[in-house]
Amino acid sequence: MTDATTISATQTDADRALKQKHRAMWASGDYPRLASELIWRLGPRLVAATAVQPGERVLDVAAGSGNVAIPAALHGATVVASDLTPELFDVGRRLATEAGAELEWREADAEALPFTDASFDVVLSCVGVMFAPHHEQAADELVRVAAPGGRIGLISWTPDGFIGRMFKVMKPFAPPLPEGAQPAPLWGDEQHVRALLGDRVDEVEAKRQTVTIDALATPEAFRDYFKAHYGPTIAVYSRIADDPDQVRALDEALVALAVEHGLGVTRKAMEWEYLLFTARKR
């Protein structure tokens, strides 16, 4: 059996420093507000796609404030919501209480989950595990903690969808990825995820779908909202804060991206593309 102690012992000081940086990034801004106002509906979609049943053991990896974990608990499942950034849990607990859902909240690194092998009937992640820097390690953990015959369900932003494009826009202003890290939107590429999980899963289904975002009526509103609430965007702006030309260039690039997608030009909403990927552990 594998447990958290065994996995954490293999981490280097550089790994731990990187995770602390990621934790601080996601704790900045107000990700729970963004999740609630823009993408909360993705959680119930993932729960439905994996047919979560009452009494099943469900793990939500990189759960944030619980947009998957809470709907799964409301289906009668026994749910653990895990995340590297426990600062997000206070809002999640409040939302769960308001919804009448009972679940457990656990601080956990997606690349070193503190759970024994085959602990869960269903392992889920909604635009969460994709941000773990080492994709193979994270994928290995998803499979490890799933019981034989258990389901794995993922929602990830696609490389060519709006959020994937946003990361491309921010890339020239961001620091290089750490050695061994891979871009998050690769999880939205079906072939990439198939390669990560390999022959350890079968019954694979992958569908590109979209979520309608109608809470941001203008390109400027989109830019300012993400500058204020979204950890990765906040981190990039913090890096270039002392260079007004760089800040202006990124401001303009984000507005141009929203205009490209018709926001404020031909419509007052955007369609953000994601990959819905489900599979069963052999």
Domains in the chain: boundaries:
4-212+273-281
Taking a C-beta distance cutoff of 8 angstroms, is the pair 160, 183 a contact?
A: no
Taking a C-beta distance cutoff of 8 angstroms, is the pair 167, 52 a contact?
A: no
Amino acid at position 180, single letter: G
pTM attached to this predicted model: 0.94
* Kind plus residue range of the DSSP H or E element containing 280: strand 270-281
Residue ranges in the chain whose pLDDT is less than 50: 6-8
Taking a C-beta distance cutoff of 8 angstroms, is the pair 261, 142 a contact?
A: no
Maximum distance among all alpha carbons in the chain?
Answer: 56
Query: pLDDT above 70 covers what percent of the chain?
Result: 96
Distances (CA, A) of 3 to 43, 112, 165: 28, 9, 37
Coil/strand/helix, residue 29: coil
**Which among 39, 46, 59 is positioned nearest to 103, based on CA atoms?**
59
pLDDT at residue number 105: 98
* CATH match of 4-212+273-281 with 3.40.50.150: yes
* Kind plus residue range of the DSSP H or E element containing 190: helix 190-197
